[in-house]
Structures are given as C-alpha cells and as structure tokens.
Amino acid sequence: MSGNTETSVMDQILDRAIEQNPHSKELLKAFGPIIARQRQLVNSINLPKLDYSSIDKVKLRAGVSVIEQINLFAPDDPLTEIALSLTEAVKEALPKLAGELDRLSDLIQKDKLCLADYFATQPGDENKTMARWGNDLKISPSNMSFLLSLIERVLLERRAREATAALGEFAWEKGYCPVCGEFPSIALIEEDGGKRFLYCSSCGQEWRYTRVICPYCEKEAPKEMDYFYVENKTQESAFVCDQCKKYLVTLYRAGRLHVRDMDISAIALVHMDMIMQDKGYEPMTACPWNILK
C-alpha cells in the first residue's frame, strides 16, 4: 500500500470516527497524524531480520509471550530515523510541544541522546535510563516517555507481524498480549457469533479471548461479565470487573463494511474512559489518551 493510499484510508477512518463521536474530535485530530505516521513507518521502514525459530509454541500455550522468549529489539534498529520521523508528526499534531521536540531531535542527531541505551536495558531498568537522561540532559520525563512509546510501537508492531507469520497458528489463552505481554486497550465483539477479540495498543496484536473471564485478573463468572452502556449507544460499552476494578472499552461490530483502526476506535471512546474512571475503575493498560487524572 502506497503512502498516499495509507493517508487517504486513515483520513476516512478519522473523519468517520469524528462524525460518530464528535466529543472526541480534538483528541482524534491530535493523535490521528501521529498514528498515521506510525502506520507508514511500520509498512516502509527497513528493519534487521530476527530469528523467530526459537519461539516455543508449548511455552506460548502456557502463557509465555513472544517477548519473554526472544528479544524483539535489535542493536541496529534504525532508532534515529524512526524517532526523527515521529517527532515531526508529533510537532504537526501537538504544536505546543514543538520546542521540546526540536531539542530532543537535536540531541538525538548529535548522539547526545542514545536511544539504543533505553532499548538495550534489562526489563525493569528503563526508569534508570530515563532518570539519567533527566539529570544529565534536563529532558522532560513525560515528553521523552511519550516519544519512546511511539518508537516502541513501530518496532513492536512490525515484529508482531513477523513473529505471528513465522509461527502460523498457535494456542493462546491469556488476557495479555501473546507478543509483547501488555494488557489490551480495547475489545471488539463480533455481533455475528459473539466472539470477543482483544487488541494491544503496544504492538497492534489482536487475539480471541473468552467473554466470561476477565482478561486482567482471570476471574470467571457463570454468566457473561458486566458491561456498562451509555444510553442510545448500543455499539459502545465498557467491560467491568468488580474483583480487580479494571475496565476495558468495548465495541460491537455487525459486518465489516468499513475499515477500522483500533487505536482510533479506542480514542473515540474516551467518554467511556471518563465515565468508568469517575466510577472508580482503572483501564487495563495505560495509553496516552486514557490517563485522565
């Protein structure tokens, strides 16, 4: 798919989301260009090849995600190229951040900010790298964390595609992502058959999961779990679990008439995030658009 075609499709998706959820217009307009640039990079960037042959399907069935079995970040990933492209998209979408992003771009280009240091850290040590950058380079932790999450999404989405293509069919029975291990940001329920699919905002992976178990704490109910609906919005809801106090925004889909981007869909449902957080529930995973307090 060419870049122009990708942009045209994303514009259509955004326009439809704004028409259906005008209250989310500003958020959609802010994140739309960023998500569009991420999709372009996922489809076009040249990444070093990884060997997926060591992924064990038996471990997958037991709940050991792909990222726990192999490193999905390579030392020679084109981090600078991805970062500079994304900073331009963020500046376009969020002009108030332009000054800080120009400074970040300058530090990256001059090798004063080595992104590879962050992606080479051991799990759990990322905050130490962020703290060092904050102390040495006086970088805003929130802005740097935002940019890193955008870069990570590009790399993980491409690696998710490659890993699942290499694996073929495999069994997965957990509520967290089989590729990157993160919890879902949104669910989609097919009205024809009632199947529930979970979607990961960290890598774009989608997987089927039963409707009678909470993806987060695995509480099982004899009947379907509770769903909260807004009046006159029967296609939109939030799954809620009273054991772990987590919620998951959820869409119902009848047919496949329109192309859908699940990140755009999640942003369009931010009103559900506001309602559920006001009721004392927390999202299953934190996204830039659903942390409201």
Nearest to 96 by CA among 131, 146, 134, 150: 146
Taking each helix axis from N to C end, the angle separating 141-167 and 79-93, rounded to the nearest 10 degrees, works out to 120
d(CA 161, CA 253): 24
Tell me the sheet residues that pair with 227: 239
Other C-beta atoms lying within 10 Å of the C-beta of residue 174: 20
Per-residue model confidence (pLDDT) at position 214: 95
Q: Is the dihedral of CA 101, 107, 110, 111 positive or negative?
A: negative
Q: Which residues pair with 190 in a beta bridge?
A: 253
Task: Kindly give the parts of the chain with pLDDT less than 70.
Answer: 1-7, 222-225, 254-258, 292-293
| Under 8 Å between Cβ of 94 and 33 | no
Predicted pLDDT of residue 282: 96
Separation of alpha carbons 116 and 80, rounded Å = 9
pLDDT value at position 227?
84
The alpha-helical segments, DSSP class H, found in 114-213 are 115-119, 126-137, 141-167
C-alpha closest to that of 41 among 163, 154, 162: 154
Q: What is the pLDDT of residue 293?
A: 63
Angle at 93 between CA 96 and CA 80, to 5 degrees: 95
Structure token pair of residue 63: 């709940």
